[in-house]
Amino acid sequence: MKRRLVNGIISATTAMVLTVSGTAQPARAAIPWPQIAVAVVSYLYGGSGGGSDLERAKQEIIAAVETSKQEILNHIDAIAAADVEACTEAAVTKIAQIDSMPGSLLGPFVNGAVDCAALSNAYLNAVQDPRAADNIGKLMGVIHSIAMVAFAKYNLSTNDLLNGLIRGYENLVTKLAPACRDDTIREYDSLGRLVTVEITHTCVAYNGNSASGTELYYQGRPMNTIDRALISKNATRNTSRWTAQESLPTLIQLRPVA
């Protein structure tokens, strides 16, 4: 007779299983606006010939804002801090006119965009509610991209802005980390010897989306393995944490060496 010791409740399986639950996001354009920072930074730091391609970076951020303006404005409306909401809306509204602005307007616009990028990081640092952090996280790429393009138009270094975006995204990865757990089933033979161990690793994001994977050990030998980091990432696929994790490797690679 077999004895089973159960720690938690899981669905039994004998092979690796990776499952996700929650509403999938609709398909987007080739460069989704939440991930626009990667495209902008790529052109500013690795454009044609390895130099800066400001014009292409500018076109990308303007196109992203114009094609997704209502969705972006909806996220702006959800920001709890009035000053961050106001400066973000101003930057998003004015970026399309950056080439036609007279000097008297361009200077204040550039300063406002850069200040807004810093303000968004400060707001993210201060908030505790994951929904509030997610709202600003979804806009950080747009805010910093506008600021970087505006600064580059003045031939000013964008390195500090890029570093600020990287810090913000790293902060998001921590703040929006899902709750994860291991649920284990152990099976013994008739002599009380441990035969199989089945471990299901499940992560649940703040918005209720989840992902899980199951690994099996037979007589102490692993029959399959699971990627816990990937499960954690997939659980947050409908949050700005996923965008941050997708963007960070490229942003860090393109960041100039100090």
pLDDT at 206: 97
Predicted TM-score of the model (pTM): 0.83
**Structure tokens of 95?**
């970026």
Label residue 145 by pLDDT band (50, 70, 90).
very high
52 by Cβ neighbours in 10 Å (0-12 / 13-18 / 19+) ranks as middle
> Residue 159 above 80 pLDDT?
yes
CA distance 61 to 74: 18
CA distance 90 to 253: 30
pLDDT at 44: 93
| End-to-end CA separation in angstroms for the chain | 65
Cross-strand partners of 18: 213
Total residues belonging to the chain: 258
Of 5-14, 89-98, 244-253, least confident by mean pLDDT is 5-14
CA distance 8 to 6: 6
What percent of the chain lies above the pLDDT cut of 90?
71
Cβ count within 10 A of residue 229? 10
C-alpha distance from residue 258 to each of 100, 159, 160, 201 (Å): 34, 9, 11, 39
Label residue 258 by pLDDT band (50, 70, 90).
low
pLDDT at 52: 80
At residue 180, the 3 state secondary structure works out as strand
C-alpha distance from residue 33 to each of 15, 40, 58, 96, 111 (Å): 37, 11, 14, 15, 23
> Residue 194 above 70 pLDDT?
yes
35 or 6, higher pLDDT? 35
pLDDT digits (tens, 9 = 90+) for 206-218: 999 999 999 999 9
pLDDT at 29: 42
Chain-wide mean pLDDT for the chain? 86
pLDDT at 27: 36
The single-letter code of the amino acid at 234 is: N
156 or 22, higher pLDDT? 156
